[in-house]
Amino acid sequence: MLNRILFFLAISHLPSAICHLHAQDSLSVQKKPEQTIEFLGEGFLNSNTITNDFILAFYKGQFINDVLKEGVTEKILLSNRLGGASKLGFTYSEHSLEGNKKPVFSFSFFDRQHLDMKFSDDLFNIIFYGNKKYFTNQSAYLGDFQLNLLRYQQFRFGWNFSGDATHGSYGFSFSLLSGEQNVFVKAPTATLFTSDDGTYSGNYIDFAVAMQVHQTDTANKKIFAQNGMGLSADFFYELPYTVWKKPGTIIFEVKDAGLIRWNSNSMHYSADSSYHYDAIDVSDLFNLDSMASPLNIDSVIDKNTKFEKGQYTTNIPFTLDIHTKSFYGKQIAFEKGIIFWFNTSAKPYYYAKLHFIVGRKKYADIAYIIGYGGYGRFNAGLEAKIDFAKHYSLHVIDNYLFSGIAHTSYGMGLYLKLVRRF
């Protein structure tokens, strides 16, 4: 695997150019440095239902008590979302000489992970409360379920072109993707009915499900394992404008539009069946070893299950971000926008940032953030971009800064980037 990384590292060693970092992964260029290298680590996990305490207890392998469960069920909806992503890597940029209009070239390597889940309230209750409390003599609707776990490594090559007063800046990049793992489950229809009417034949469980499962090679799960290859592309266009004598920019940005083709060792399972279960049949009650089968399903209706191996394609999650940034003097800017998530369960994310910009030699930008949508509910946080030494800048964003205050808060995450200019 490392050979492959080195291969891409090697071919990225292209002639120097004056650089300008790529869109949202970069800081604004202040002093036309020749080269920059930046280390980026970001991740978030958010839900409109699952609280942070619940997630942390689950993650740490703790006992999930009734308080944690009730924290979820108080706000649970018919359809719920849980999602997250992480991105870890570095970017090396080479800038052209001052005044030169050559594009800024950058190369990046990122380890990417995505989690996307959509589930019903009944599914949560069945899993964490069991079938007795809410579903005796009732149907639990477990459908409209989707789970997508995705991990891949990204080798990105980008070019940015600076604009002027009449022409916007723009940039594009393409990435080679090395697919590591994917688990995809989709169950549009699933119901579980638990009957207990007090009669002998009235004790049974009916389960109907239509589902598809795709999973990459489970025998090849080591770090940076390669189970597929893919391509993706990014694009942005930044157009300056002036409204009411206030300068501003509007930015259109597409990130990670692409796909991964998984190899032929991938597994596919599909089912469209109904099951009726009313106990394991034993021929001799005093000898439980006499059971007919370990799990005796009394009747299977429309049994249509299939298992096979083969290639498949995953459209990776990508975003379209449209936002504007208006400047009110040199020290205040207001930014607002919307992010559309594709190939995920997330809703559009609306956000606004109020920037306070200070400093001349030492640049500092502090922004207050509020947002709504995505995988979660309302969120609020802070963003800071600071030049803290002659050649260093730090960019920190916490969109869920106030989530840690309340026990039943939603969402957690951090964006951290360190830039070294040469």
Partner 1 sequence: MIIDIGLTQKYPSLRGRFARSNPSEIFCEIASPKSGLAMTLVRKSYDNLKLIIPFLIPYTIYLFFFSSCRKEAGHPSWDVDVLAPLVKSTLTINNIIPDSLLQQNTDNSLDIVYQSSLYSFSVDSLFQIPTATIDTAYWLPFPIFLSQLSTIVPATTDETKNTQGGAELTDVILRSGTIEIMLRSQVKSMIDFTYKILSAKDPFGNVFNKTFRIPAATSATDGVYTATFDLSGYKLDLTGLSGNKVNTITSYYNAIISPAPFGDTVTIQPYDSVVISNKFIDIVPQYAKGYFGHTVSNIGPDSTNFSLFNHIIDGTLQLEDIDVGFSIENSIGADARVTIDTLSSINTRTGSTILLAHSIIGAPVNLNRAVDNNGNVTSSTYSISFNPSNSNIKQFVENLPNKISYLMDLEINPLGNVSGSNDFVYYDKLMKTQLNMAIPLSLIANNLTLADTLDFKMDKSAAHVNSGTLYLYAENGFPFTAEAQLYLMNDNFTIVDSLISAPNAILAPQLDANFICAGKRLTKLAIPLDEDKLQLLKNIKKMYIKMKYNTAGQPNYVKIYSFYEMNVKLVGDFNYTVGK
Interface positions with partner 1 (CB under 8 A):
2-3, 6-7, 9-10, 12-13, 37, 39, 41, 57-65, 69, 88, 90, 111, 113, 127-133, 136, 151, 194, 196, 198-200, 203-205, 223, 277-286, 288, 291, 391, 418, 420, 422
Q: In Å, how far are 5, 93, 152, 274, 308 from 15, measured between CA atoms?
A: 20, 11, 28, 63, 48
For residues 184 and 236, is the Cβ–Cβ distance under 8 A? Answer: no
Distance in Å, CB of 327 to partner 1, minimum: 33
**CB closer to partner 1, 211 vs 419:** 419
Distance in Å, CB of 164 to partner 1, minimum: 31
Distance in Å, CB of 130 to partner 1, minimum: 3
Distance in Å, CB of 142 to partner 1, minimum: 15
**CB closer to partner 1, 52 vs 326:** 52
Distance in Å, CB of 199 to partner 1, minimum: 7
**CB closer to partner 1, 17 vs 254:** 17
For residues 357 and 384, is the Cβ–Cβ distance under 8 A? Answer: no
**CB closer to partner 1, 294 vs 329:** 294
Distance in Å, CB of 267 to partner 1, minimum: 22
Of 150, 105, 141, 148, nearest to 12 by C-alpha is: 105
Task: Specify which residues 155 forms β-bridges with.
Answer: 109, 176
Return the ∠ at Cα 316 (arms to 312 and 319), rounded to 5°. Answer: 160
Distance in Å, CB of 376 to partner 1, minimum: 21
**CB closer to partner 1, 41 vs 247:** 41
**CB closer to partner 1, 60 vs 361:** 60
Distance in Å, CB of 69 to partner 1, minimum: 7
SS (HEC) of 333-355? EEEEEEEEEECCCCEEEEEEEEE
Task: Specify which residues 368 forms β-bridges with.
Answer: 354, 382
**CB closer to partner 1, 336 vs 420:** 420
Q: Which helix (H) or strand (E) holds 15?
A: none
Q: Can you list the alpha helix ranges (DSSP code H) found in 66-120?
A: 66-73
**CB closer to partner 1, 194 vs 314:** 194
Give the phi and the psi of residue 121 in degrees, each rounded to 5: -65, -35
Distance in Å, CB of 386 to partner 1, minimum: 16
Rounded distance between C-alpha atoms, residue 211 and residue 269, angstroms: 8
Residue 129 is encoded by which pair of tokens? Answer: 């409360």
Q: Which helix (H) or strand (E) holds 270?
A: strand 267-277
**CB closer to partner 1, 3 vs 166:** 3
Rounded distance between C-alpha atoms, residue 158 and residue 174, angstroms: 7
**CB closer to partner 1, 209 vs 369:** 209
Quick one: CA torsion of 126, 346, 148, 415, rounded to 10 degrees?
Answer: -110
For residues 147 and 116, is the Cβ–Cβ distance under 8 A? Answer: yes
Distance in Å, CB of 351 to partner 1, minimum: 27
Q: In Å, how far are 31, 70, 293, 334, 364 from 28, measured between CA atoms?
A: 9, 45, 67, 16, 11
**Amino acid letter for position 63:** F
Of 103, 295, 240, 260, nearest to 181 by C-alpha is: 260
